[in-house]
Amino acid sequence: MLVTFSCPAYTNITMFGDVAIQLLKYMGHSGTVPSALMAEDVAAALERLQKEIKKQAQLMLPQDSLDKNDEEPEVTLSHRALPLIELLKAAEKEKCNVMWESNS
């Protein structure tokens, strides 16, 4: 499943469903797809998401080297969250609702 986030102030963001649901829960939402955040709730959701991402990043142990079988480093959740964080910042600035839906 893919989940697409949208708001009038920013381009649509599409991400894998498991990652999207985890980020929605970090925002204080139930993880229901489809759903939305009202404009007045965006700032609090953004704050909760950033706080949880920072907390999770601190819990991760640094890798000194890659496993010999790995060709590329793992993409962390904090990196995957960046586009959604930017969308939420734009929505907060423009005072607009944020919606998301499934693209199965």
Task: Please name which of 30, 90, 22, 29 lies closest in space to residue 53, comparing C-alpha atoms.
Answer: 22
pLDDT under 70 in the chain at which residues?
60-70
The single-letter code of the amino acid at 94 is: E
Beta-ladder partners of 15: 3
Reported pTM: 0.86
Beta-ladder partners of 100: 5, 35
Q: What is the pLDDT of residue 74?
A: 79
| Domains of the chain, residue spans | 2-60+71-102
Query: Alpha helices, DSSP H only, in the chain?
Result: 17-26, 39-59, 77-94
Q: What is the pLDDT of residue 65?
A: 46
Longest dimension (CA), the chain: 48
Task: Please name which of 19, 33, 78, 71 lies closest in space to residue 53, comparing C-alpha atoms.
Answer: 78
Contact 104, 15 (CB under 8 A): no
Q: What is the pLDDT of residue 22?
A: 96
